[in-house]
Amino acid sequence: MIYPLPTLASTQHGGVAETLASDIAVFRTKQELVYRHLRDGIMRVELAPGSRLIIEDIAQRLGVSAIPVREAIQLLQSERLVEVRPHAGAVVAGITRDSVIELFALMEGVEMIAFRQAVAKATPAHIIALEPIVEAMASARKSKDPDKLARLNRNFHVAIAAIAGMPRVEELTARLFDDWDRMRRHFLGGVALPGAEQSHREHAAMIRGLQAKDLSALLTLTQEHNRQALARSLALVPEDVRPAAK
C-alpha cells in the first residue's frame, strides 16, 4: 500500500512549523534532511507499517535528487525501520507481537546493564535530577497527556543510562524507547499504556534503589517493571498480527 508522505510543514523545530527552505538550513546535508523527515514520519506513524517508500516521489516532494533519498533509506534500514522487499522495494517495517516481545526483552537487558554501573556512580545530584522527571510524569498522567508521558518516560530511562556513563547503552536505550513509542502509536492510537500509576510507583522505587545503592532490588524491580509492561502491551496487541508477506 502506498501512503502519502507527511508534509514538511508537519515537522516541528522549536515548536514552530518550518518551510522547506528552513528545513534545509537546519540540516547539514540533504541526506540528513531526508532521513529526519522520513524517520519522524515513521515514528509518528504518519508513514504506517507497510507503507511503500518510492524514491522518485520522495525526492520530488523534498526537492532533492534520488541519491540522498537512497542513502537515507539505507540508514533507516540499518535501524530496522525500513525493509527492502522483492517486487515492492523499500517499505516501512512492520510491527508484530514478536517484535513487541523482543523490544521489552532488550529493554530489560539493557536497563539491567545500566543499573549495574549506575548504582555505583549515582550521586545525590543525580538523584535530585531524576526526581523532577518522575514528578512531571505524574502530572502528565493526571492531565491525560500520553505523548508527554511517553517522552518523560524515555527521558527517565535514558538518564539512568547516562548516570552509568555508558554512551552506547544510552544511545540504545533512546532507540528502544523510540521504537516503543512507535508501537504505542500504532497499536493504541497514541493513548497511554494502562498501568501508568503502577509504573509511577516503580520509577519512584528505582530512585530509592539508586539512592540506597541496592543493586539486587534494582535488578528485581527492572525485571518486574518490563515484564509487567510487556504483559499489559500484549493484552492490547491483536493475536493475529504477523509479519507482512514479502
Mean pLDDT of 33-44: 94
pLDDT attached to residue 104: 95
pLDDT attached to residue 26: 60
Mean pLDDT of 157-166: 96
Rounded to whole angstroms, how far apart are CA atoms 128 and 31?
Answer: 39
CA dihedral 176, 177, 181, 187 (to 10 degrees): 50
pLDDT attached to residue 7: 44
C-alpha cell at 235: 493484552
Residue 16 — pLDDT band, cuts 50, 70, 90?
very low
Q: Domain ranges in the chain?
A: 8-92, 97-234
pLDDT attached to residue 195: 80
53, 93 Cβ separation under 8 angstroms:
no
pLDDT attached to residue 108: 96
**Fold: same for 8-92 and 97-234:** no
The fold of 97-234 is: Four Helix Bundle (Hemerythrin (Met), subunit A) (1.20.120)
The fold of 8-92 is: Arc Repressor Mutant, subunit A (1.10.10)
pLDDT attached to residue 27: 65
- pLDDT (tens digit, 9 = 90+) per residue, 66-107? 999 999 999 999 999 999 988 889 999 998 889 999 999 999
- pLDDT (tens digit, 9 = 90+) per residue, 119-152? 999 999 999 999 999 999 999 988 888 889 999 9
pTM: 0.79
- Does the structure show a pLDDT above 50 at 245? no
CA distances, 80 to each of 40, 84, 117, 190, 242 (Å): 14, 10, 28, 21, 16
213, 119 Cβ separation under 8 angstroms:
yes
